[in-house]
Structure 1
């Protein structure tokens, strides 16, 4: 789905961004894997570029401003008011680590964590409104939270974002206008890893993409396998940033 021209409804995942300690390496890896090209983005928090497909922005890549910050993808949710939603995060027992602050003329953002420590972002789009998940190869297709406390996470995000959470297939989903926009499921496979929001990028061939990731210096964490959403593989970039790819049904 192309970049949106109107701000997405509150609670909709609208952007994904990688914070890394090797921006040049990340650009080469994801460009070679997903076909991205790059344009400059806001630099208020450090070096940052927007990844594009056919001239439309699909994701952000930036340099982590905090030494020792893990290389990871962050999912941003659309907010009518980043300040008001950030306040609800605090009231519900979460933490707000960054902001809310202005990202030049692009919009207003905050970076927060839920009760279990899973990091997510809030985005109040202005000039840059983001991109909704969709099946187009190379773009974000789906996000899901993997947590040891599915029930607690569902209550937290429902209250913070003002959207219902309900069963959807095998998992629980955050609903916007009656449709699932993000998943929440029990993380039986966490095995000591912290809860996190997982980003899935759409690809034409999951098996081929997994092999290509290794050729580019990345690794395969979970081999390609069938799921209710399509054929999925869990990968990592050369600096350890984890993400998934899915060949939609």
Structure 2
């Protein structure tokens, strides 16, 4: 399995009211197969490799949402850094059998994220390929505090996207030269175009072969289109909602000439 350096996105999962319905939706959309673990947690596989998880909501008040986990060698120490930097820890480090240790934090803008200290399960076995995770970004209304938070807690190297029509900051892991080639995620801003009640949150991207075909499939499967397909320098993307209300995005990278 791949090793993940500190702060790298290493896992994503969806919190759903109906995991069986989620299996049908994402199995059809991405071609995933599934294996159930203890506690009704379901691991999704693409070409036999781990790519994501689906988890049942234990309480109807919990959000239906996709979440991201960042890799760490020491979840307890990183939890302390989260508090020291102005964030919160809402789930203290918790061993998950022999697979690893998880924790859940909240940044100063209210966005929730996970920590994962890998054991037998370091994280993704496949990424940056169709049917797997490829990108994440946090949306916030408090960019100054949130930028300082992630760059302090994870050591991210931040660089603002030049000549962009939106206020966007890319993150590269600590010890790397910031830039497109090293970026693993980013920060965007919740503008007046978003509903006033929308909290800070992460958006998860999955690679697909064809963005427009993925959008058509989501619609056919009972999901909704939040942002129709549009082109960016890195490919063609769309923001979607599954048939239970979890928001995610898809990216089709430019095809080679």
Secondary structure of the corresponding residue to residue 158 of structure 1: helix
Aligned to 1:243: 248
Q: TM-score, normalised by structure 1?
A: 0.92
- 1:201 is aligned, of 206, 209, 221, to 206
Aligned to 2:170: 173
Q: Whole-Å Cα distance in 1 between the matches of residues 156 and 76 of structure 2? A: 17
For structure 2, the 5+ residue unaligned runs are: none
Q: In the alignment, is residue 160 of structure 1 matched against residue 153 of structure 2?
A: yes
Q: Whole-Å Cα distance in 2 between the matches of residues 65 and 99 of structure 1? A: 18
Q: Whole-Å Cα distance in 1 between the matches of residues 208 and 143 of structure 2? A: 28
Secondary structure of the corresponding residue to residue 180 of structure 1: coil
Q: In the alignment, is residue 35 of structure 1 matched against residue 31 of structure 2?
A: yes
Structure 1 residue ranges, 4+ long, deviating more than 6 angstroms after superposition: none
Q: 1:229 Cα deviation (Å)?
A: 2.3
Q: In the alignment, is residue 183 of structure 1 matched against residue 162 of structure 2?
A: no
* More displaced 10-residue stretch of structure 1: 188-197 or 22-31: 188-197
- 1:82 is aligned, of 75, 91, 94, to 75
Q: In the alignment, is residue 214 of structure 1 matched against residue 219 of structure 2?
A: yes
Q: Whole-Å Cα distance in 2 between the matches of residues 172 and 231 of structure 1? A: 19
Kindly indicate whether structure 1 or structure 2 has the higher relative contact order, using CA contacts under 8 Å at least 6 residues apart.
1
Q: TM-score, normalised by structure 2?
A: 0.90
Secondary structure of the corresponding residue to residue 77 of structure 2: helix
Aligned length, in residue pairs: 242
Aligned to 2:124: 131
Q: 1:168 Cα deviation (Å)?
A: 4.1
Aligned to 2:10: 14
Q: Which has the higher strand share?
A: 1
Q: Is the 8 A contact 1:13 1:132 kept in 2?
A: no
| Per-residue CA distance 1:208-248 (angstroms, 9 max, x = gap) | 11011011111111111112321111110111000001111
Q: Is the 8 A contact 2:140 2:189 kept in 1?
A: yes
Q: Whole-Å Cα distance in 1 between the matches of residues 110 and 161 of structure 2? A: 24
Q: Whole-Å Cα distance in 1 between the matches of residues 18 and 69 of structure 2? A: 22
Aligned to 1:47: 40
* More displaced 10-residue stretch of structure 1: 223-232 or 188-197: 188-197
Q: 1:174 Cα deviation (Å)?
A: 1.7
For structure 1, the 5+ residue unaligned runs are: none
Q: Is the 8 A contact 1:133 1:142 kept in 2?
A: no
Secondary structure of the corresponding residue to residue 67 of structure 1: coil
